[in-house]
Copies of this chain bind each other. A is one copy, B any other.
Amino acid sequence: MRTPDELRTLVEAYLGELALTPELYGQADSVRYAIDSPGKRVRPVICLATAEAAGAEAEAALPAGAALELVHCFSLVHDDLPALDDDAERRGQPSTWAQYGEAVAVLAGDALLAEAFRLALSYPTSDVGRELGRATLGMIGGQYLDITGTAPDEATLHKLKTGCLFAASVGLALWVAGVPEADQRPWRAFGDELGLLFQIVDDILDGDGYVLSHGSGGARRLADEAAERAQARLAEVDADTSILSGIVDGLATRTA
């Protein structure tokens, strides 16, 4: 089983060589720009690690992992638009709209989403694409609740906005690895904990969100509890989940 760093290297190489649809013509430049924006590639790494823990080759999960990353990229490109978060910078570089203009950035997000489905649909089973679709719709719903301030509660907001795609990082890997639906429950219980953990730590690093609502100490405690729950769920999975356990530790203690 490969370490998270080794899996991330696999993901970076796959994304770097990913052939975009030729019919995109010049639109491909901005799509490539968004994909190449430096990122932690957390979702695909979780996907590959889950696939490997479930008995598949990590390589078999690369299209699914890349599809998750492209959906993540699509959401960032559209979130950064002036009409939404109005962020001209993303990870120290001009955001896609700042680099290519708003019109091309709208289309870049659209193309990233369509390319994500193209990748998810490269599998013989439709289940990979179906779960990606559900997760994407949940994420969009969460984004709506966020920008309109209409979320019924904090938990629902983050479960949708962040949690859906993290849960799908585990879920897609289960379909890739051919884990029967009846055996997926413990895996999915684990996946359901990841988004919240990621979100709280994100807020701790940015000093917003959970830090504002629960204080610095309160947010740290919530993050530790989420990490504990994730580890507990993982312990219920009948497989060697040591790499995934290390990823949970890494998510809980990350400093960037």
Chain A positions near chain B (C-beta within 8 angstroms): 21, 23-27, 74, 78, 81, 83-84, 101-104, 106-107, 109-111, 113-115, 117-118, 121, 123-126, 129-130, 133-134, 136-138, 140-145, 147-148, 150, 160, 164
Contacts and interface: CB of A to CB of B under 8 A. Distances in A.
Contacts of A130: 118, 121
Q: Which of A115, A124, A133 has the most CB of B within 10 A?
A: A133
Main secondary structure of the interface of A (DSSP, over half): helix
Contacts of A104: 144, 147-148
A25 B150 contact: yes
Q: Which of A107, A142, A144 has the most CB of B within 10 A?
A: A144
Given A21-B141, A27-B141, A144-B25, A133 B117 contact: yes
Q: Which of A23, A106, A126, A142 has the most CB of B within 10 A?
A: A23
A72 to B, nearest CB: 13
Nearest to A124: B126
Given A27-B144, A102-B83, A150-B26, A21 B114 contact: no
A138 B20 CA distance: 11
Contact of A129 (B126, B134, B142, B160): B126
Given A104-B148, A106-B81, A137 B111 contact: yes
Contacts of A84: 103, 106
B140 A111 contact: yes
Contacts of A107: 78, 140, 143-144, 147
A185 B142 CA distance: 43
Contacts of A123: 126
B113 A134 contact: no
A117 B121 CA distance: 10
Q: Which of A74, A104, A126, A138 has the most CB of B within 10 A?
A: A126
A226 B129 CA distance: 36
Nearest to A160: B23
Contacts of A141: 21, 23-25, 27, 111
A21 B118 contact: no
B78 A106 contact: yes
A145 B26 contact: yes
Nearest to A29: B144
A70 B104 CA distance: 21
A126 B120 CA distance: 10
A124 B23 CA distance: 27
Nearest to A147: B103
